[in-house]
A and B are shown apart, each in its own frame.
Chain A
Amino acid sequence: AQSVSQHNHHVILSEAASLELGCNYSYGGTVNLFWYVQYPGQHLQLLLKYFSGDPLVKGIKGFEAEFIKSKFSFNLRKPSVQWSDTAEYFCAVNMRFGAGTRLTVKP
């Protein structure tokens, strides 16, 4: 069965800390990978996506993600978070979404 797992439900960081959010999937066919973000009171919006090519993809607002095929993973990273990164982050594989990770950044 297809599934997307986000292991961290709630992450709390201080400003300037580095961020890594995990995403693992179980899927037997071609995968197209996405990270979406939902800021408080706003719609879900795309952060970045991977279809093929360089497994390290860069998105908006300094986020990046690395596709590791052998580990079925697509982790999201940011070297230095800001208070404005406080949001919920969702990993998606094709049209299946994970449960989301809530990120709280303390000023």
Chain B
Amino acid sequence: KAGVTQTPRYLIKTRGQQVTLSCSPISGHRSVSWYQQTPGQGLQFLFEYFSETQRNKGNFPGRFSGRQFSNSRSEMNVSTLELGDSALYLCASSLAATASYNEQFFGPGTRLTVL
């Protein structure tokens, strides 16, 4: 089975721009979660989707948004980029309706650099 894939793997943007990251879950997984990983902060939970519905949301500003499509693929969007948004963005998929109750399988991440 193919693992979780994320595109692009690397992105360089400038302040004020917007960015869209994509995630394809493992086949059969319908739950997708997004995390922001920065040194010293660990993984900060952004949001979770199941069956095209947002199930949970972390404490991030409204500039961070996401969606899930009928084929379970997910995208996250960050508008009006700030320098502090530079991070590794991880996507994870899970078999359960919510990853709170099951193992998550992580992708390689998208490294976003904001200049």
Contact = CB atoms under 8 A, between A and B. Distances in A.
B106 A44 contact: yes
Contacts of A99: 40-42
Nearest to B109: A43
Contacts, number: 43
Interface in B31-85: 33, 35, 40-45, 48, 56
Contacts of A32: 100-101
B21 interface: no
A18 interface: no
Interface of A: 6, 9, 32, 34, 36, 43-46, 49, 51, 90, 92, 94-100
11 contacts: A9-B40, A32-B101, A36-B106, A43-B108, A49-B103, A51-B101, A90-B42, A94-B100, A95-B45, A95-B56, A98-B42
